Structures are given as structure tokens and as C-alpha cells.
């Protein structure tokens, strides 16, 4: 029998909603200042340019705004912690939809996206079901996934441009926690304790469960390094060699269960 799942982590709705707006605002300001040369520069996301990445940010909020104008769907409800692992199946359609966005006037596109999003979200209940590429989700849960999209791609944008676009603290926290919980769901167990201060601690990997004292297998890293590992932007061995990850214990090697979102 598979191990029982732990009770899902709860997220403060007001903080999550504010975090989505704050992080989108940081990106909007940065994109508005990019030159045509910067927009045509490559990114670490395959064939995507910075312009493609900038377009994708508007889809992160714009797709939800459209969904909120549609009738509430029926069907299988996707559990929040399963969302990261499900995303790999949609890479092709996400690329196609992103490339179809008209980016001739990015400031206007961002302004229109934000206005439609704020109008749609204002009176929407967290319990409202919205359709996704992977099944229906509660709006409150889906908003947590928006923090992941925004934070991960803000890091991509910073890497491509050399900018230092800030990370909203609540958005970074929610992103870190969801990806940590996804790891615990992908590799259930209690043999390894993964610490990502100040936001998350989870236990994972089959083996003897730690109950008290110092855990025999511990992994610790900072939030951005964790996010890069969890999304395949960074390699386990390289980050450990660079001392951005500390791992002690014979089971404290997560290379076989990463990434959890791709």
C-alpha cells in the first residue's frame, strides 16, 4: 500500500493574491525598460528569446483572466501538490501558445493583461473551480501555481538580462514551499530532511524515518538554488561542488528525484 499523503499545506489567500500582483508588477516594470536588443537576446529556455519570455509572463495571468469568464467546469480536480509534476506534459502547447502572443507593444499588452486579471479576480471565490491543462483546480490553489510561474521565470529573466528584478517575499515563499512539497510527494518517506530556510522543511525518500535529535541525512540550500534545482535550471553536482547545497548522510543525494517541475 502506498504511504498516506500528509495533509496539504495551507496558504493565506490574501497574501497569495497580493504576491501574484506584486511579482507581476516587478516584471512589468523591468520589461518596460528593455531595449529591442535586450528583447532579442537568448534565454536559457531553449529557443525562447527574452521577448518570448516577456510574452509568457502575460499568459501566466491572462489565461486565468480568460478562464474566470467561462462557466465553472466539472471534472477531475487536480491536487495542488500534483501540479508541478504534471506540467511536463504541456511543454509543447505552452510554447505554441506563447509564440502566438502579439508582442508588438509590450507595455500595452502588460497593462491590458493586468486590467483584465484584476477585474476577473476581484469577486472570485477561492473555491471556484477553474480549468487547467491538467484538470480542474480550486482558484485558491491555482493562484499558488501562479507564484511558481512568476518567480521561476523572473529568475530566467534575470539570468538572460543581467537585471536584478526583485522577488516578492510571499511569492518566493509560496514557490519554495510548493516545490518542496512536490519533492516529498514524488519521493515519499522520512529518510532525508530537506531544509530551505526560512521557508520550508520537508522529509522525503524511503528509508528509516527520523523522529528526534539530529537527522542522519540532511540537505540544506537557499530558496533560489532550491528553485533552480527543482525546475532543472541547475545541476545537483554542480551546486553541491559550489557549496550552494550542503548534503550530509549516505542517502542525502537528491539527483535521482530532481527536477520536480520541468
User: Per-residue pLDDT tens for 85-95?
Assistant: 999 888 899 99
99 and 207 share a domain?
A: no
135 and 241 share a domain?
A: no
Separation between Cα atoms, residue 162 and residue 226, nearest integer Å = 20
When pLDDT is cut at 50, 70 and 90, the band that residue 212 belongs to is: low
Q: Whole-structure pTM over 0.85, yes or no?
A: yes
Separation between Cα atoms, residue 245 and residue 242, nearest integer Å = 8
Instruction: Using alpha carbons, select from 52, 9, 18 the residue that is nearest to residue 34.
Output: 52
In total, how many domains does the chain have?
A: 2
134 contacts 90 by C-beta, under 8 angstroms = yes
> Cell 493574491 identifies what position?
17
pLDDT tens readout for residues 133-144? 889 999 999 999
Separation between Cα atoms, residue 228 and residue 259, nearest integer Å = 9
18 and 134 share a domain?
A: yes
Say if residue 7's pLDDT is above 60.
Answer: no
Question: With pLDDT > 90 as the criterion, what percentage of the chain qualifies?
Answer: 87
51 and 135 share a domain?
A: yes
Separation between Cα atoms, residue 187 and residue 199, nearest integer Å = 20
Cβ atoms < 10 Å from Cβ of 120: 17
Separation between Cα atoms, residue 51 and residue 41, nearest integer Å = 8
Tell whether 110 is covered by a domain. Answer: yes
Which grid cell sits at 30?
523591468
Amino acid at each position: 500500500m502506498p504511504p498516506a499523503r500528509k495533509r496539504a499545506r495551507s496558504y493565506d489567500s490574501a497574501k497569495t493574491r497580493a504576491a501574484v500582483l506584486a511579482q507581476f508588477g516587478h516584471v512589468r516594470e523591468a520589461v518596460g525598460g528593455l531595449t529591442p536588443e535586450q528583447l532579442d537576446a537568448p534565454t536559457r529556455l531553449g529557443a525562447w528569446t527574452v521577448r518570448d519570455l516577456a510574452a509568457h509572463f502575460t499568459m501566466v495571468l491572462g489565461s486565468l483572466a480568460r478562464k474566470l469568464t467561462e462557466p465553472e467546469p466539472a471534472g477531475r480536480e487536480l491536487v495542488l501538490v500534483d501540479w508541478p509534476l504534471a506540467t511536463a506534459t504541456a511543454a509543447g502547447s505552452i510554447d505554441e501558445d506563447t509564440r502566438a502572443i502579439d508582442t508588438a507593444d509590450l507595455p500595452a499588452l502588460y497593462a491590458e493583461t493586468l486590467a483584465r486579471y484584476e477585474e476577473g479576480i476581484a469577486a472570485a471565490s477561492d473555491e471556484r473551480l477553474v480549468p487547467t491543462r491538467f484538470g480542474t483546480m480550486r482558484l485558491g490553489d491555482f493562484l499558488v501555481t501562479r507564484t511558481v510561474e512568476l518567480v521561476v521565470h523572473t529568475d530566467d529573466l534575470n539570468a538572460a538580462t543581467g537585471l536584478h528584478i526583485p522577488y516578492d517575499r510571499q511569492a518566493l515563499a509560496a514557490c519554495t514551499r510548493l516545490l518542496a512539497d512536490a519533492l516529498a510527494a514524488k519521493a515519499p518517506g522520512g529518510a532525508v530532511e530537506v531544509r530551505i530556510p526560512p521557508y520550508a522543511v520537508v522529509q522525503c525518500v524511503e528509508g528509516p524515518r527520523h523522529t528526534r535529535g539530529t537527522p542522519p541525512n540532511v540537505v540544506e540550500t537557499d530558496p533560489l538554488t532550491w528553485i533552480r534545482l527543482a525546475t532543472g535550471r541547475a545541476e545537483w553536482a554542480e551546486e553541491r561542488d559550489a557549496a550552494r547545497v550542503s548534503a550530509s548522510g549516505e542517502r542525502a543525494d537528491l539527483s535521482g528525484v530532481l527536477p520536480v517541475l520541468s
